[in-house]
Amino acid sequence: MLRMQNVSKTYQHRRQTVAALDNATLRIAAGDFISLVGPSGSGKSTLLLMLGGMLSPTSGKVFLDGQSVYDLDFNGRARLRKKRIGFVFQTFNLVPYLTALENVQIPLYLAGASDSEQEERAIALLQRVGLGNRIDHKPAELSVGQQQRVALARMLANDPALILADEPTGNLDPETADQVIRFLEEFNEEGRTIVMVTHDPRAASRAKRTLKLADGSIVDDDASPDRSLQVA
């Protein structure tokens, strides 16, 4: 499903070249659940953003279902994300003046769904994450864990095949973090591919496969022998 081929990302900082990602080559099969771990600055978020079509590599290629992502123009990548990819962030990125229902409706509205379709699907998704009685609440009226569950419901709105999660449990207490990981496991069992950046070893251990990054390179992979990943 996902493939990176000799991908590097460099920045200029105070007249020095900094490698955020260094010649990474990997394959991620459809239906896998990957955790990306490593110290801050190791390249985890850079790799995740590149997989999501949000950060162009300095060199190399990124493929999603055989399509070279960065050979598409800006609008083409936006369409690809809308159809195929769901994002979950540590900071939730909810619109503060909209209700939980309206936040979940946003991607459905952008996809051109009718008002009735938007409402019906958004209510069903909020019920799925245990917030059927909170649909009219705004983010400030919800707990941190409830806000993350609204974000999960919104992420599912367009039925993505690929979920990219950046520290989805980073702001949560252990019990709520476990609940969020259980939801991700559920989504994975439905056939969705998940790539998750995390500093939490308990969350990382729940994935099927863990990639460790250091200084912009993939330095370890605990995948079973039948899984395919290559490190250049």
Chain centroid to CA 70: 18
User: Taking Cα atoms as reference points, which of 189, 179, 186, 199 lies closest to residue 42?
Assistant: 199
Give domain status of residue 197, yes or no.
yes
Is 5 inside a domain boundary?
no
Q: Quote the pLDDT of residue 223.
A: 62
- Predicted model pTM: 0.89
Assess if residue 8 is contained within a domain: no
Where in the sequence is the domain holding 200, given as residue range(s)?
A: 32-56+77-221
Tally of domains within the chain: 1
Interval 30-80: pLDDT, tens: 999 999 999 888 889 999 999 999 999 999 999 999 999 999 999 999 999
* Contact assessment for residue 144 and residue 172, using Cβ atoms and an 8 Å cutoff: yes
Residue 229 in any domain: the answer is no
Determine, yes or no, domain membership for 154: yes
We report the CATH number of the domain holding residue 176 as 3.40.50.300
Examine residue 211 and state whether it is found in any structural domain, yes or no: yes
Cα–Cα distance between 85 and 99 in angstroms, integer? 23
Question: pLDDT tens digits for 137-152?
Answer: 999 999 999 999 999 9
Q: In this structure, is residue 9 part of a structural domain?
A: no
Domain assignment present for 216: yes
